Amino acid sequence: MKRKINARFVLLTVMSVILTLVLATVAYYELFKKEVLADLRSYTYVLEHAGVFDDMTAVKEYTLSDTDVRITLIDPDGAVRYDSQADAADMDNHENRPEIAEALRSGSGEAIRHSDTIGRNLFYYAARLDNGSILRVGKESGSIWAIFAGILPWIAGIGAGLILIGLVLSHYLTMQLLEPIERMANDMDHLDSMTVYKEMIPFTTKIRKQHEDIIKNAKMRQDFTANVSHELKTPLTAISGYSELIENGMATDADVQRFAGEIHKNSKRLLTLINDIIRLSELDVTEHDLTTQEVDLYEIARTCVDMLQVNGEKHDISISLLGTSCTINANREMMEELVYNLCDNAIRYNNAGGSVKVWVTKADGHTVLSVKDTGIGIPKEDQERIFERFYRVDKSRSKSTGGTGLGLAIVKHIVEQHNAKLEIDSKLGEGTEIRVIF
């Protein structure tokens, strides 16, 4: 980019220098022409009023061959009576020369003619005298090209100087232009205070946001890895401890039975954890290519409620389904998982004798799934955070009921992928309602 901007500056400088010099030469030549004609007019005026041509015999002896001014006297009929640089008798009729014709007509005339033979321009001024004759004064001068060639060394010198200054200036200008951008690239954390160009604000805002997202993601990943390691460690430590006791013969027969039970329970917990972790990472990967189909959410909820009926009875919790058939375009497996996770929580965080109600309805053109329980409820300050990975309100209750702390994280992921919305209503000690609005 630097090189490109610099090259454009240099091109601009060179072009403007050349253009200026050419135009200046043309302007100078126009001025020069005016000057020469004005001079000729003055000479004519002086000659006319000095009475030089009153006595032609004196004039005829007078030659001006050593100056570049040429004086000609022409009779009203166009015959040349006198010429300071040639023999008048040899010269043809001048009646039709533009400057003479004009002077005969209007009193004065001027003309510039180019002579190919001498390669120079001839300037003429003619005036009608009182006696009707025409007095013409002429002067040779170089053409525009000759003048241009004459000042070419000057032009080249000035041009080169200007271009050199332009080169240095464009180098500094480019650096100055790009310096804030380079500074911004080196310090992403303070983009706001460093943005010099207001046109760059949308760009820096986007970059900053991406930068923050990257940092946030990295932090989340780090936290997640630390949490996973910690979560895996607990059951593994238990398994390792109990099996070591058995191995060393330090357990009685009754203990062996109990230890085996612990080992079984902890390995099951490990499996659930690993399954949930794998599921989360799968959801991360399939973020962009979701395969969807028309599914009846009510049917899915019914299967889930049927499946959890026994589990509910075991904890003295009734579970029922209400609403009507609602078809949505979604991923079936994910919908099953979503309903299952919500119902499972509603049972696990419920009280004996409580109930779980699952609703599938249509409201304002949206399909709504609601899972409402009469359980322990969630404190206001935790309601936002329960969808975070491994976030639990009551860790021991979660663990004792086989929770991994990942169920609602999976729910949130699924909801986001279906462009749906999550709502939560919960009162401590009274119960919780979680709604998914499609």
Residues in touch with ligand ADP (CB under 6 A): 345-346, 349, 373, 375-378, 386, 391-394, 398, 403-409, 432
Rounded to whole angstroms, the Cα distance separating 346 from 408 reads 12
Give whichever of 136 and 389 is closer to ligand ADP, judged by the CB atom: 389
Report in angstroms the alpha-carbon separations of 22 from 245, 327, 378, 391, 393: 102, 79, 84, 78, 83
Rounded to whole angstroms, the Cα distance separating 168 from 177 reads 14
Residue 188 · residue 211 · CB < 8 Å:
yes
Rounded to whole angstroms, the Cα distance separating 280 from 396 reads 23
Write the burial class of residue 299 (CB in 10 Å: 0-12 exposed, 13-18 middle, 19+ buried). middle
Q: Give me the least distance between CB of 232 and ligand ADP, in Å please.
A: 15
Token look-up 């899972």 returns 371
The per-residue b/e assignment along 160-184, b for 16 or more CB within 10 angstroms, e otherwise, is eebbeebeeebeeebeebeeebeeb
Work out whether strand 318-323 and strand 355-363 pair parallel, antiparallel, or are unpaired.
Answer: parallel
Give whichever of 61 and 381 is closer to ligand ADP, judged by the CB atom: 381
Residue 236 · residue 271 · CB < 8 Å:
no
Q: Give me the least distance between CB of 371 and ligand ADP, in Å please.
A: 8
Give whichever of 6 and 404 is closer to ligand ADP, judged by the CB atom: 404
Give whichever of 136 and 269 is closer to ligand ADP, judged by the CB atom: 269
Phi and psi, residue 353, nearest 5°: 90, -5
Q: Give me the least distance between CB of 211 and ligand ADP, in Å please.
A: 30
Give whichever of 90 and 381 is closer to ligand ADP, judged by the CB atom: 381
Q: Give me the least distance between CB of 209 and ligand ADP, in Å please.
A: 28
Q: What is the DSSP letter of 405?
A: S
Q: Give me the least distance between CB of 374 and ligand ADP, in Å please.
A: 10
Give whichever of 140 and 425 is closer to ligand ADP, judged by the CB atom: 425
Q: Give me the least distance between CB of 275 and ligand ADP, in Å please.
A: 12
Rounded to whole angstroms, the Cα distance separating 88 from 296 reads 119
Residue 338 · residue 414 · CB < 8 Å:
yes
Give whichever of 246 and 424 is closer to ligand ADP, judged by the CB atom: 424
Residue 379: which residues within 8 A CB-CB, separation 6 or more? 393, 428
In the chain, helix, strand, coil percent, each to 5? 60, 20, 20
Task: List the alpha helices (DSSP H) in 72-143.
Answer: 98-106
Give whichever of 191 and 409 is closer to ligand ADP, judged by the CB atom: 409
Cα 300–Cα 301–Cα 302 angle in degrees, nearest 5? 90
Q: Give me the least distance between CB of 376 and ligand ADP, in Å please.
A: 5
Q: Give me the least distance between CB of 400 and ligand ADP, in Å please.
A: 10
Give whichever of 6 and 398 is closer to ligand ADP, judged by the CB atom: 398
Q: Give me the least distance between CB of 279 and ligand ADP, in Å please.
A: 12
Joined tokens for residue 182: 């380079």
Give whichever of 102 and 394 is closer to ligand ADP, judged by the CB atom: 394
Q: Give me the least distance between CB of 283 and ligand ADP, in Å please.
A: 14
Quick one: which of 359, 271, 288 has its CA closest to 319?
359
